[in-house]
Every structure is written in structure tokens, then in C-alpha cells.
Chains A and B, each alone.
Chain A
Amino acid sequence: MSTAVRAFPMALAARHVAGNRQHGVATAVSTLCSLIVWIMLCVVLLAKIISAQPSLSAADAQAAAALSLANLVQQHCAECHDADEPEAGLDLLAAFATKPAAERGSERAALHGRIWRVLHEGTMPPKTAGPLAATERAAMQRALETLLHDAELRQPSPPRRLSREEVRRSVRALLGVDVAAENLPEDELAFGFDNVANLRAVGGAVAEQLLRAAEHIAAQVLPEGMGRPPAERRMEAEEFRCNTECGAHGSFVSLYMNSTLSARWKVKQAGVFELVVRAAGQQAGDESARMSVRIDGMQRGVHSVAATVNAPADYSCTFELSEGEHEISIAFVNDYYKAAAIGRPAADRNLLVDAALLRGPMRNGPHAPAQALLAPDVGPTQAGGLRARSVLQPLLRRLWRGAVDAKALSGLEQLVDARMRAGDVFEEALRTALAAALASPRFWLRSEVGSATGQLSGVTLASRLALLLWSSAPDAALLDAATRGALNTPQGLQSEAARMLRDPQASALAERFAPQWLELRNLVASAPDPQRFPTFTPALRSSMADEVVRFFEQVRIQELPARELLRASWSCVDAPLAALYGVPVPATPFARTELPGRGGLLGMAAMLTVTSNPGRTSPVKRGRWVLDHLLDAPPPPPPPNAGSLDERPEIADSLPLRERLALHRRDPSCASCHTRMDVLGFALEHFDGIGAWREKDGPHAIDSSGVLPDGRRVDGLAALKSVVAEDRAFLRGMLRALFTTAVGRQFGPADEVFLQRTLEALPADPSIHQIVLAVVGSSVFNSPARN
């Protein structure tokens, strides 16, 4: 043991007393000396504690715990974790002896959390080192728990913006329109979730996209032209071109043979148009003059023109026109002429056309989103601003997720008044105000400041609840509960959350949380080699993604234990998946289907595909996925210059993958992770690169067996399922993911004790709802993200 190691407690102690004193001085002191100083320090500290306060304050308890921990670390850990080739790159002496704790709070807390977890799991100290007595282990854990007290509350979350999907769901729920994801700024991922870190960059392009998306959404709710009569364009008959011969007849153009009048009209906005032709007939024979209206050569209406020249009439037909130029023709189709004979004048039937009027585009019936928005409209008896208030106030309460700022609202009223003075009709001015409200940070920024008392306000809790459970805006009932103060009592909060979990919008947990937690949204980027996997089609890909959602949703709404996600012998399949899995097609798509030899997340094609290379399976990626997402034990990244598999054809073709990986594991720097990772991954080797069952991998027989570092043997899916399902780390990982997306920061080592406490408070085999309710009821969920 080096001098530096022996001097360690002294160095730490000196820091508490003397602040910036060089710890180099301490290194020169002997072990005995350091002990004396240490005891003296304890006395000083104790005196300080006693003089300051009658009882031990939290800060002083932590200082005492730090001292006790330092001593224990020095005795039991420092032999390996010192500056001289530190194990796992962790020099605990240096870590504890650098800057004072206050400056490195979060790093220090993370270190405490790491140490606590290895002690809790019993992985440290290793068997090869001296044993740690149970009392000492407990003492160390207690000290760490004191140091980590409320660490989960002391870590602030970064600013957050609503994710694309949160905007889309809010807009759909509140305004009844769909907005394409590509019209919204891209999300920035962090810790696997899209709603944690996407406020890193809000300048430049993102700000403009937010504004443009807002205008776009408002225009979908209140479309262009709404509130205005349809445009009309009149054309005199003389302005038409006659294809043969036509004559003048007063203000009419006379078609005295089967001729056609045509004109080209430009249409700026597609839609339904009405063409009204004012016409009359010079009648003869046994029927009236007949007029055919054609658009681009296609007949759109035929009129029997019974009116006479003294009383012409309007003949109307409607049709759809696309944007662009169109030819509109009016044709006379039943010319009749009988020359005069004795006792009888000539009989001549002609069509007389005065003018044509094109009106449109017309609204095709009432527009549902506008109707819903305008339901509370007090009507045109009020000035524009006041009308806008009647419409916006109930909307903004939900859109802005809380009480509506009076001045912000009156600003919008003024905007509406100003736009109407500038010539806009009410609907147009309201559309501009709606766009402003949607572009406002009051909508897209998640401001979660605490009140003066440091507590989260009811409406902020409501916002958190709605975004966690529904990925959407709160409803009126939730906001009413918040305003009543019901969310600030544990029972009120639980009952409101339980109500929300029964609401159909809670399917967001299956649709949004599950695929992000399990990292399966990347399925869209998976590209299996079409030569090797010709059955992989876009339809199959989308069925794979749906299976994850439907299966999770079944487990959720039936309140099965969350571990059913792993243990299930069934899943939800449709025809393409039934073909892939080799089972009969269920009567209804995605009905619960028993899957012999499969079932649950671990047998799911989505996971098996995402974790494969385009051309082959990757036991390493699969093993890593299990560690990352199911066992809450993400392996560290490979060391720099970690070798890759030898892919030269002479090796790759002659050696099974298992043997090539075994070669890789001979490297000790690779072995520590791969011994566990590869065994978990190889258990799934009977499933090929898109999740179909296979007996062989090319020419090689499949061996899906292996032995975990703790001696347990795993062979195939069934064994893997039970190994993973019996580990409560699965539940901890799910809690960690839920907290991450709920509060918007990583739940890392500093939160280990908190996560463990939350885990231990859960029932033995909790349902997804019970886990979600534990998150909602936690101190973290009820505290501000930042102050």
C-alpha cells in the first residue's frame, strides 16, 4: 500500500478544516499522525455541531457520514482502486481527495451511488479480495444512504420543449386536426427519450419551424376562405370563343347551329365550383333547347333551356376543379330547323347565352374542427376581440396547461381587433390569434418551476401527469382537480392518475413510452438484406412495430403483472406476423395468440430485427439489448481500440459466429462484458435476423446454450425468459425509464438508493399501472424540475 493511500483520511479531513491547504503536506505524515489528526478533527467537528445546533443537522450528519465512508473505503477498496493502475479505471482515493464536495456535488453523488449499488448487489469487493464483514458492509451502505439523502431531488432537469408527438397529440385532442411530424422540429434524443433534451437548440431553424407549424395548424382548423363568401367571376358570352359560327342577338350570343362556346379559366385554389349560365332558348320543335356544360371536354351538366328571350333564366351545375387552368365549354346540342313552307313559318330552335358566372371554391359542408372551436363563440353581436376571448379562453386553459394569463389573453384580443381593422374577417383574425397561441412558449415550453414553498403547483402537476400518461394536454376534469387542490394530496393525486390510466388516451404509454424504453423505434431504420430475407416487407415491418404496442397495451389494460411482458407465452399477431411465426392467422388482427416456443418481448420480431445486422444475427447486440433494457445493467462502451470480429471471408465462412466470438473473448479487456452479453444473446440464436425460427445458421448447427458468470446455465428462449423475469432489475429499469421521461433528466447512479426504495415499496409482482402510480406518487414527481 502506498503512502498516498494511508494518508487518505487525513487528506480528506484536512480539506474540511483548512479548505485549500495542499494535500501534499498530508502525504508526508505517518499513519499514526494521520490517525491523531483525524480524531482531532472529529472532535472539532463534533464541537461545531454541538455549538451550532442542539441536534445533528442534515449537513452535519452528511459530513460525519463522509468521514466514516472515507475510512471504510480506505480500508476495503483502496488496495485496488488507487492511483497505481486503478481497477476499472476508478481511483477512489483521487476521487474523494479532489475538490470539496460542494463543487463536485453531482459527480460525487454519482460515485456514491455506484459504490452503493455494487455493495447492494454484492459484486464488490470481489471474492479475490479480503471479505467485507456484514456489519461493515451495512455501515458503508448506511453512510452512503445518508450522503445520498434526497440526491434525487437535488439534481435539476434541463429546460424542455414538447416533443413532436406531444405536440401532435395535444393538437389532435384540442383542435381535432392532424399535423404531420415532418412539419414539426426534429426531436433531440437523450437517454432514449425524445422529450428530455430537445430544448438544447431552440434558436435559428427550430424557432422558425415552431412558428410555421403553428400557422399551419391554425390554417387547418380555420381554412383559408372561411368567413368569406366564395369568390365569383363573371364572363360575358362575347368573351367566349365560338368554335364554328355564332351570332349576336341583343345582349345574347346566339348559337344557331350545334356550336360550342369555350373559355380558359384559371383556378387558384382547388375545390367545388358552381357554374351558373344565364341563357334562353328560341324554341321550336317538340323539345326545348338543350345546353351541355363541359369541363376540359367532359360533360358536367345538361340543361333543358325552357326560358325565353324575354325572361332568360339561370342554369347551374357544380363540379370539382383542381388548381390550374381549365377549359369551360357551353354547347348547343339539339339544333332544329325546318324551313318555311306554305302556311307555316320556318321553325328554328337556337340557344341564346348571356353570361356565365363561376363561383367557388365552396366549402363542402361544415368543417368539424372549426365547428368545435367555434362552439363557445358568442357571435357577431360582440366586437372581434370579445368574440375571440369567448372562443380562446376555454381552449388556452388546456393548450397552455394551466391558468390563462389575463394579459396574454387580452393581447390576443387586441391582435384580433387589429387584424379586423386591417380588413380581415373574424375567422381570419381568429386564425392568426390561434397561430400565435400555438407558437407561444406557453404551449411548447415545459416550465416546471416550484412555488415559493418549493412545491409544484397543482396545474404543473396536472401538466406532468397529462404528458406522462397521455403524451398530451390535460383535460378539463384534470385541471379542475388541480384547481381544487386535489392533486396536492396523495390520495387525490392517486385517484386522478388512476382515472387517467382508465382513459383511452393512456394508450400513449404503449404507443410512446414502450417503444422508446425498449429502443424499438429504430425499427424504421432496420434494413435486412432483401436477398437473405425476401419476406421482409414494409407491411411486415409495420406489423412488427404494432405488435410491441398491442402486446404492451394488453398487459397494461388487463392489469397483468408487468413481468408478463417477459413471461408471456402469447403475443398479439396479425397475418404477416402469423406467417413469420408459423402460426395460424388469428380471426381478428392482433388478437391475443398463443405462440408455442415464443411469446413475450424476448420472442418478438421487432426486437430480434432491431438487434440484428442486415445480413446476420448479432448475439452481441441482442445480449446488450437485454442488459440495457431488461436487466437495467447497460455494459460500458467498448474500450478504445477494442478489436472487431475478424470478418475476412476465409475466417467468417469457415468458423461459426460462436467460435469467432469466443476468439474475441480471449482478449481480457473484452471478456468482462462479453461473457455475460454473449450468453444472453446466444440464447436467442434460433431466431434469425428478422425473428423467424431456424434450425441452422447456414451450414452450422445452432447452439443456444451458455453459462452466465454466476454459474446459471441458459439454453434457449424459455430459460432466458425465466432468468430475466425473476430479476427485479427489470422493474427497476422500467422505473428508471419512467422517471427519465417524466422528469426529464437521467436517473443515474446518484438515484440508485431512491430507485431501490421505490422498487422495494412495490408489490411483489406489480402491474404496469402500479409501477406508473409509484412514479406519480414519488417525491421526485411532486417536486419542481428546477428552481
Chain B
Amino acid sequence: MVVTPNNKALPDRRTMLRATGLACALPLLEGMGMDGAPPPARALWVFLPNGMNMGLWRPKSTSLAQLSPTLQPLAAHRSALTVISGLAIEAGRAGADGAGDHARAAATFLSCARAKKTDGADIAAGLSVDQFAAQHLGAATPLASLELGCEPGRLAGGCDSGYSCAYSNTVSWSSPTTPCAKETSPRRLFERLFGDMDAATDVRARALARARKRSILDWLSDDAKRLSGTLSAPDRAALDAWLTALRALEKRLAAAEDARAQVPNPELLTKGTGSHAELIELMGLLLTRAFEGDQTRIATLMVGNAGSNRPFREVDWSDGHHDTSHHGKDPKKLAAIGRINAWHMERLATLLDALSAAREADGCVLDRTIVMMGCGISDGDRHNHDDLPVLLAGGRALGVRGGHHLELTKPTPMANLHLAMLRKLGIKAQSFADSTSALPIGA
């Protein structure tokens, strides 16, 4: 199927979501799980590039009664928000590494570990908090985690000042030397979750397709044993990583079939990627479905790659985002940055709408999903890695307080927030990266 732009299906979808948006707040007796077990705890980390206009972002008091201009689009979710001021990532600072703050912003965002400055094969950062969580919770679900993005990587050249593009293009690291490739195509994401879109719609045809896929997988893993002996050690390591993924896929074949049955109208989800806003919404919808069907509990979403320079005609601004973030205090550029930030908050609001509209047990998916959104730098012109713009949304049923502005009096490690989130997910971690204690995000 061809993904066509400007399809009319999405507004309908939106209307539908709005119509059901408030249902979440009501207790739903029929939604209780068969075995009475509560639905699982989940987390989503959302990365935004290039920092913020902090003047327009920062709430004026500890209450969210008055939302800052940037946060206005989130008004409907006010009670589920925690805005956090004063977080810092020490590993993001230049130190002896010099330029490359954008690459470091992404590489340290969830790892809080220093990224080795290299454009070569020897890249190294640190295990990221989402992958840490996935390694604890992932076995319970068909997919241990999802890594999503809304912007593909560059096609030529380098990314940032001698840092490998891997640092700028991913926030998820499954080991200090393994960046996780992210999925940027809604179609491919759909197929990972629900099986081939092209496959015939009837169950028997899909069973046949599965049987054929199994015979491919059998031959591949059988042949890999023979091949392995002829390879060099680094090639063999790559082969092993690939085989592990294939085995996981084999286990998931049936699960994908079950999940597909829950998608009321798969075609609806595969249309309407004409605009950047629609693409982001679509990734959010698919992610919501993945959470709802318990296909995964852990996800990351890079709305843009670090240092992204896409122009923002959506907010009437034709210069690149990164170029504009070097505002040199130009009021026009500062205002444009503010509009871009607010536009991103509109996208977040749409995602929170979808997570609220998905009902389960006595609430909605958002109640048991902690959404963390933020940047790895604060002001785009200064490239500072402290005073980072960060907010939490959701997770009410997991004990996240919400509805306030948590102002930290002195620079506090971002890892403290990561540790707090891990604990809310039920992971008994003593510490994470350079954490000093768990941030008080609870009620």
C-alpha cells in the first residue's frame, strides 16, 4: 500500500479521539482485566531538539494555575503535568571535548554518560534509562521497547563537530557501545506491531504468510551457524545481534496476529502522513495502540534529531530550527523559537489526548504511563546543559503527583529524575548513572 499524503482519514480520527477524550476520567466497570490484575506500568521519553525559549517556557510559580505561554496548548492536561526546573546533565558539558553540544544533548539525555568524541567505529556513551527499564520489564511483552523518531537521519556529511551521527540520531543505548536504531516510518512501525500491511485480510492467508516466514527464519538461523565460523570476531558479534532479533521476532509472530485483531481499522492508521504534524500524531497513535495492546511498556520518541535544522513553516518561519536557535538575542528569532516550542506542545497535547482516550481498567492508558518530555540543552544560543526544560505527564495511577511546577533550588542531576521514574515503574534500582537520590515526583 502506498502511504498517500493529504488523506482525509486523519481528521475523522481526530474527531473520534476528541469525542472519546473525556471518557478516561470515568470509572469503567467493564474494562477490568479478566484476572483482575492491574494493567502494567509504562514509560515514554520524548526528546525535543535545540532547547527552548526559556523565558516563554518557565512557569512563574510552583502552581500551574497560570500556564506559561509555551505550555498553553497543554491546558486540558494541566492536572496531569509536572513541570521540572533545575535539572542538569553534567556529562553534556564540553569539558575537554570541545564543540558538539547537540550530539551530547541527545547522547546524554537518557544515559547521563559522557559520549566518547569520535566519528569512528569506537562510539561509546552509556546505557540509557529506557533500555535499563526495558532490560527489567521487557521480557513480559512481545517487544522489550520501541525507539521511534519523526525525522530520518542526514543523507550526507557529518552531524555535529566530530561526533558520530549515531549520537545525534538516537537517545536509546542498549549498552554503552550499542545505539538503538529508531523507527521513523509509520508504515514500518505498523508492520512491526501488526504484521504486513500488504498481506491479505483474511486469517487463513495470514497464517500461510506466517508459516512461510517461519521457514525463512528456520533456514536463516540454521545457516547462520555455518556462516558464523567463517567470520571475523566483529562480524560475528553483528551476526549474533541480528540472530537475537530474529529469535525475538519468531516469538512475536503470533502476538502480532493477536494485536492485529484489536486494531479496529488498520488502514486508518496508515494514512495521512502528509504533514509533519500528522506524522508525529500517527507515531503517537501507533504507540498508543502498542501500549494498549501491551505489545511494549517502554518507548522513546525523538520528535527531531539533535541539532535538527528543519524549517518551521507551520509557525510561519522559514529558517531552520537549529539556525534560529542561535538567536543572538534577536527578538524575532526568540519569538519564533517560542512558537516552535508551543507547536511541539500542541503535538504533545495530541499524544496525551490519544493516551487518555485509550481506556483500560478503571482509567486510561495515560494514568499508568509516565511521559517525560524535555531537551538536552536549555538555551539554543548558549548550549547550556543545566536549567533544562523538562516536564512529566501522566502516571497518576503510578503515584506521580502532577499539577505543579517542581522548582529545584540548585542544579540537580537529570539522573535523579531517571531514577525516580524507574522506581515508579516498580524497578528497585539503587542508583542510575550519576544520580544522587530519587527526585520527589510522587504525591
Contact = CB atoms under 8 A, between A and B. Distances in A.
Interface stretch (A19-27, A119-127, A192-200, A711-719): A192-200
Contacts of B232: 159, 447, 449, 786-787
Contact of A205 (B147, B159, B217): B147
Given A197-B121, A203-B245, A637-B162, A408 B223 contact: yes
A161 B235 CA distance: 10
Contact of A159 (B191, B234, B245): B234
B68 to A, nearest CB: 24
Interface stretch (B13-21, B321-329, B338-346): B321-329
A200 B156 contact: no
Given A201-B179, A411-B219, A531-B318, A207 B230 contact: no
B34 interface: no
Nearest to A748: B120
A199 B238 contact: yes
B332 A422 contact: no
Nearest to B181: A201
Interface string A638-654: 11111011111100100
Interface string B227-266: 1001110110111011011101100000000000000000
A178 interface: no
B5 to A, nearest CB: 14
Nearest to B192: A208
Given A745-B120, A787-B232, A189 B212 contact: no
Interface string A512-546: 00011001111011010111000000000000000
A613 B121 contact: no
A433 B323 CA distance: 50
A416 B166 CA distance: 40
Contacts of A215: 196, 213, 216
A649 B121 contact: no
Nearest to B235: A159
Nearest to A191: B119
B179 A200 contact: yes
Nearest to A450: B232
Nearest to B184: A186
A174 B189 CA distance: 29
A637 B224 contact: no
A419 B215 CA distance: 8
Interface size class of A (residues with CB under 8 A): 35 or more
Contacts of B332: 649
Interface stretch (B56-64, B82-90, B92-100): B92-100
23 contacts: A156-B234, A157-B121, A188-B169, A190-B165, A197-B166, A201-B241, A205-B188, A206-B181, A216-B198, A408-B223, A408-B226, A428-B212, A439-B220, A442-B223, A445-B238, A447-B235, A521-B156, A522-B157, A527-B310, A638-B161, A640-B98, A641-B94, A648-B331
Contact of B323 (A157, A161, A614): A614
A516 B98 CA distance: 26
A706 to B, nearest CB: 24
Contacts of B182: 205
A405 B223 CA distance: 10
B311 interface: yes
Contacts of B246: 207, 211
A441 interface: yes
A515 B181 contact: no
A418 B121 contact: no
B328 A189 contact: no
Interface string B148-164: 00001111111101101
Contact of B318 (A405, A422, A530): A530
Interface residues of B, number: 88
B119 A637 contact: no
B100 to A, nearest CB: 7
Interface string B165-177: 1100100001000
A209 B245 contact: no
A214 B211 CA distance: 16
B278 interface: no
Leading 4 A-B pairs by shortest Cβ distance: A158-B121, A637-B161, A207-B245, A647-B328
A647 B333 contact: yes
Nearest to B323: A613
* Best-buried of A214, A415, A531, A642 by chain B (most CB within 10 Å): A415
Given A192-B158, A415-B219, A640-B101, 6 more contacts: A190-B121, A205-B181, A207-B246, A211-B249, A428-B212, A529-B318
B200 interface: yes
Contacts of B196: 212, 215
A639 B119 contact: no
Contacts of B435: none
Interface string A606-634: 00000001110000000000000000000
Interface in A153-206: 156-159, 161, 182, 185-192, 194, 197, 199-206
B102 to A, nearest CB: 11
Nearest to A419: B215
Interface of B: 94, 98-101, 119-121, 123, 147, 152-159, 161-162, 164-166, 169, 174, 178-185, 187-188, 191-192, 196, 198, 200-202, 211-213, 215-220, 222-224, 226-227, 230-232, 234-235, 237-239, 241-242, 244-246, 248-249, 309-311, 318-320, 323, 326-333, 381, 383
Nearest to A438: B216
Contact of A182 (B159, B185, B231, B333): B185
B162 A441 contact: no
B164 A637 contact: no
B159 to A, nearest CB: 7
Given A525-B154, A648-B329, A649-B332, A436 B311 contact: no
A268 interface: yes
A189 B226 contact: no
B72 to A, nearest CB: 27
A554 interface: no
A190 B238 contact: no
A344 interface: no
Nearest to A616: B319
Contacts of B381: 644
Contact of B215 (A185, A191, A192, A432): A432
A440 B201 contact: no
Given A515-B156, A525-B155, A158 B215 contact: no
A255 interface: no
A407 interface: yes
Contact of B328 (A216, A219, A418, A646): A646
A505 interface: no
A118 B326 CA distance: 34
Contact of B181 (A185, A644, A645): A185
Given A204-B180, A645-B328, A649-B330, A189 B165 contact: yes
A449 B229 CA distance: 12
B377 to A, nearest CB: 13
A209 B165 CA distance: 20
Contacts of B154: 189, 522, 525
A412 interface: yes
Nearest to A647: B328
Contacts of B241: 201-203, 207
A200 B123 contact: yes
A190 B98 contact: no
B244 A642 contact: no
B98 A637 contact: yes
B153 A447 contact: no
A614 B321 CA distance: 11
